[in-house]
């Protein structure tokens, strides 16, 4: 029984609602890049000349980024 409750406890931790975690967005640090993207495979990122960085949405907004035009 002890093992079972341990398993239940770990799956509870694993299945925490995603809303509790900060949303990750993706940004390009190229010149003139002012957008953030919900997926790293976004069309808007395909032209990116630098590495693609994952940051939290809060941080992206603090950097003055706005949601990319390809997303809804």
| Residue 53 touching Zn ion (CB under 5 A) | no
Q: Which of 42, 48, 60, 65 binds Zn ion (CB under 5 A)?
A: 42
Q: Which of 27, 28, 44, 48 binds Zn ion (CB under 5 A)?
A: 44
Q: Which of 37, 48, 60, 65 binds Zn ion (CB under 5 A)?
A: 37
* C-alpha 24, offset from chain centre: 2
Collect all residues with Cβ–Cβ distance below 8 Å to 65 and sequence separation of at least 6: 25, 27, 34, 35, 36
DSSP state letter for 50: S
Q: Among all residues, whose Cβ is closest to Zn ion? A: 68
């Amino acid at each position: 029984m002890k093992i079972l409750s341990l398993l239940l406890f770990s799956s509870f931790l694993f299945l925490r609602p995603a809303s509790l975690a900060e949303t990750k967005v993706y940004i390009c640090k190229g010149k003139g890049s002012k957008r953030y993207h919900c997926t790293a495979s976004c069309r808007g990122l395909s032209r990116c000349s630098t590495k693609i960085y994952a940051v939290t949405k809060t941080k992206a907004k603090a950097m003055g980024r706005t949601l990319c035009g390809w997303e809804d």
